[in-house]
Chain A
Amino acid sequence: MKNTISILVENKPGVLARIAAMFSARNYNIDSLSVAETIDPTVSRVTCTAVGDNLEIEQIMKQLRKLIDVIRVVNFTTSNGDFITREMVLIKVKARERDRAEIMRTADIFRAKIVDASRQNLTLEVTGDEKKIDAILELLKSFGILEIARTGQVALSRGGKRLIDKHMGSVKSPGRKSSNRHGVR
């Protein structure tokens, strides 16, 4: 089963390498990975999806927790409560004159944005969960997809629950170093 694991880590150089190294050293697979700073600039959130049986996923969680730079780990898939996942994809699709309208209609249905256009091509930006993105890719296939760039999953729990705890800066007051460098993201 695919598990969506959310990891809060110290926002320090090399932390991603530690996580990646743990997965490869212990022969686990990461399906997707996305990393970015949180509202507290000392903390980053890593969202990864991994496939494995229960024991394997449990070991992955334990091994992640063992890393000193890992602050919190939660497996959204096995924890109680709903969660939202999103991915984004950029799709460069062949757009001949006769197909153009159909592609744009498809984009509309999926609430995709057309972010680039040329005589032969359209580039779409789509956000959604995995199924939605798989679905639009499937529909666009017939027109000829030239290439795609797809992000890893990001995820949050529904409702008021959050991973941040007393060790971390409050959501209301971003941490000390909220300079422009961070602001431009």
Chain B
Amino acid sequence: MKKRTGAQIIFESFLREGVEVIFGLPGGAVVHLYDELANYPQIKHILVRHEQGALHAADGYARATGKTGVCLVTSGPGATNIVTGVVTAFMDSIPIVVLTGQVATHQIGNDAFQEADILGITRTCTKHNYLVKDTGDLPRVIREAFHIASTGRPGPVLVDLPKDVITGEAPLGNPEKFEVRGYAPVTMGHPGQIKLAVREILKAKKPVIYAGGGIIHSGAQEELLALAEQGQIPVTVTLLGLGGFPGDHPLFLGMLGMHGTYAANTAVTQCDLLIAIGSRFDDRVTGKLESFAPSARIIHVDIDPSSISKNVTVNVPIVGDAKNILARMVKILKEQGDVWKATRKPWLAEVGQYSAEHPLSYEPSQEVIKPQYVIQQIHRLTKGEAIVATEVGQHQMWTAQFYRFTRPRTILSSGGLGTMGYGLPAAIGAQVAFPERIVFDIAGEGSFQMNVQELATAVQYCLPIKVAILNNHSLGMVRQWQELFFNKRYSETSLEVQPDFVRLAEAYGAVGLRAEHPRDVVPCVKKALSTQGPVVMDFIVDPEENVYPMVPPGHSIDEMILAKTDKKARKVVPLTFPS
């Protein structure tokens, strides 16, 4: 059989996996790979400016498309620079294959130049990782890596490639034949459990669906909608579940949790049946665990058995893929006839009242730009059809609240790890996948500066990303905590000294715009949308604005601090901060 170099085997394998684009940055250990890359014009390479950007871009690409993102970096610092991105993807179950260079096999362990034990470093934050020691193993390892990353509960898989493995030679082999005997994700869902779940739904008077990122990964949005409508069950979603259920649907309660809506948090607290789907009872969702859905029986559909009964004990666990499980639940429900609309009426009326009493609100202003207003205008001017990446902080929560996501894979946001600096490179990944769509990065000025170097990437590849900085001159979310729980002692959260973002954008070759007055907001967004290349908009917003509702850390989720504008807000929450 004809022999190929390791580098050739890797790219041939990529072609077989349908890889169209790689995000990366070269270095000594992968220089042979980059040399070979020139022979594969079918595979587009996006050169980032920092390896962390490569990982987040691959992540954004994966979230926006549902395909596996691919990322290629060198050994040592190249590899350690991606760790934040790997953990970000791991926490949010994003399929990514990461190739890292490594020093030659005979040098491993010798503290060689640019050597890092990336296998050891990423052992607990990848779904799996490999050190390839023999070029002949490459076809199988690459096949396995893509298989593991993209199936079951998706996640990042890292493949460490010593230099001599890349330059060595081996046959291309037959990687169709592979077996990972320790890996067989359950997808089908136990029929008996599904029947049990339907029986619970039939019995329940006050059911609520609590859906997470699993809906998006599974592509179960239609089945979720069918279940909600068939059973007349109100739906709340997590940050990662946004877009998995239409944000403008009458059964939609909004997001739940620390910055969830009053309706969602109250409905979950009051419900007698909680149907958790592809969600993992994260602490930002549940608040104080003991009082989370205190009177509810719980159905939990998840593809990862270890997510079930991890934080709360579940009555009906169903392990498997949400899409097929929900489809079967809907089928059985339909067989029960259409008695639903009548029996659910009192509950839906009660829930409707929650929404009517305490909708999301903020105090509009003619003097100073309200960040929520900016997001509403972006929503309006993009007809809610943009792909929106966010950084992490107040702007992220406002985006979740005020950009009414109606379709899956339109919000790209670091939920589990909460990685500031995620949004800009993630937007790059999404824009690479969808050159024709409008891609926004809604940012804070703190987060934006954490990966600002990627503006150069956007400019180089003419990616017309629109960055909207909601500039409050502070690390706003921490500032909010300090205001509410630390007696306004603003310790190290002021970002008074900051670059001129307009000139910064221009320095990178992008377009910079600034809006300082509410009347400038709409023209600014319009100008950005009509500009061809990347644009950075600097919105100088009200520095005092906070994200409400807010469940103080350690409290139950029905103990919310509501917006000052909420006329009916009850001061029921003691502003204490648990140690």
Which residues of B276-311 are within 8 A (CB) of A?
304-306, 309-310
Residue-wise, chain B 309-340 has the 8 Å CB interface mask toward A (1 for contact) of 11001000000000000000000000000000
Given A17-B123, A68-B148; A58-B309 close (CB under 8 Å): yes
Shortest CB-to-CB span from A101 to chain B, Å, is 52
Residue-wise, chain A 1-36 has the 8 Å CB interface mask toward B (1 for contact) of 000000001100010011001100100000000000
Among A21, A62, A65, A66, the one with the most B-chain Cβ atoms within 10 Å of its Cβ is A66
Interface status of B180 (Cβ within 8 A of chain A): yes
Residues in chain A near residue B365, CB distance under 8 A: none
- Of the candidates A18, A62, A71, the one whose C-beta lies within 8 Å of that of B123 is A18
The residue of chain A having its C-beta at the shortest distance from the C-beta of B131 within the complex is A14
Residues in chain A near residue B119, CB distance under 8 A: 14
Interface status of A184 (Cβ within 8 A of chain B): no
Complex: A167 Cα to B309 Cα, angstroms: 29
Complex: A7 Cα to B440 Cα, angstroms: 48
Residue-wise, chain A 62-94 has the 8 Å CB interface mask toward B (1 for contact) of 110111111100000000000000000000000
- Of the candidates A25, A58, A63, A68, the one whose C-beta lies within 8 Å of that of B182 is A68
Q: For the complex, would chain A's binding face be called helix, strand, loop or mixed by DSSP majority?
A: helix
Residues in chain A near residue B182, CB distance under 8 A: 9-10, 67-71
Residues in chain A near residue B179, CB distance under 8 A: 167
Shortest CB-to-CB span from A72 to chain B, Å, is 8
Complex: A121 Cα to B508 Cα, angstroms: 78
Complex: A2 Cα to B462 Cα, angstroms: 61
Q: For the complex, would chain B's binding face be called helix, strand, loop or mixed by DSSP majority?
A: loop
Interface status of A55 (Cβ within 8 A of chain B): yes
Interface status of A59 (Cβ within 8 A of chain B): yes
Residues in chain A near residue B305, CB distance under 8 A: 62, 65-66
Residues in chain B near residue A14, CB distance under 8 A: 119, 123, 131
Shortest CB-to-CB span from A59 to chain B, Å, is 6
Complex: A62 Cα to B311 Cα, angstroms: 14
Residues in chain A near residue B310, CB distance under 8 A: 59
Shortest CB-to-CB span from B349 to chain A, Å, is 38
Among B120, B148, B182, B309, the one with the most A-chain Cβ atoms within 10 Å of its Cβ is B182
Residues in chain A near residue B309, CB distance under 8 A: 55, 58
Shortest CB-to-CB span from A165 to chain B, Å, is 9
Complex: A67 Cα to B306 Cα, angstroms: 11
Complex: A58 Cα to B306 Cα, angstroms: 9
A66 pairs with B131, CB closer than 8 A = no
A66 pairs with B304, CB closer than 8 A = yes
B124 pairs with A167, CB closer than 8 A = no
Shortest CB-to-CB span from A41 to chain B, Å, is 15
The residue of chain A having its C-beta at the shortest distance from the C-beta of B128 within the complex is A68
Which residues of A127-176 are within 8 A (CB) of B?
167-168
Shortest CB-to-CB span from B154 to chain A, Å, is 13
The residue of chain A having its C-beta at the shortest distance from the C-beta of B310 within the complex is A59
Residues in chain B near residue A68, CB distance under 8 A: 127-128, 148, 180, 182-183
Which residues of A102-129 are within 8 A (CB) of B?
none
The residue of chain B having its C-beta at the shortest distance from the C-beta of A22 within the complex is B124
Complex: A59 Cα to B119 Cα, angstroms: 24
Residues in chain A near residue B567, CB distance under 8 A: none
Residues in chain A near residue B568, CB distance under 8 A: none
Complex: A37 Cα to B306 Cα, angstroms: 28
B181 pairs with A167, CB closer than 8 A = yes
The residue of chain A having its C-beta at the shortest distance from the C-beta of B180 within the complex is A68
Residues in chain A near residue B313, CB distance under 8 A: 55
The residue of chain A having its C-beta at the shortest distance from the C-beta of B308 within the complex is A62
Among A14, A68, A71, A168, the one with the most B-chain Cβ atoms within 10 Å of its Cβ is A68
Shortest CB-to-CB span from A7 to chain B, Å, is 10
Residues in chain B near residue A69, CB distance under 8 A: 128, 182
Residues in chain B near residue A62, CB distance under 8 A: 305-306
Residue-wise, chain B 208-238 has the 8 Å CB interface mask toward A (1 for contact) of 0000000000000000000000000000000
Given A68-B182, A71-B182; A63-B306 close (CB under 8 Å): yes
Q: Which 6 A-B residue pairs are closest in the complex by CB-CB distance?
A: A62-B306, A25-B124, A68-B128, A167-B181, A71-B182, A21-B123
List 5 extra interface pairs beyond A17-B123, A68-B180, A167-B179, CB under 8 A.
A17-B120, A59-B306, A65-B305, A66-B304, A68-B148
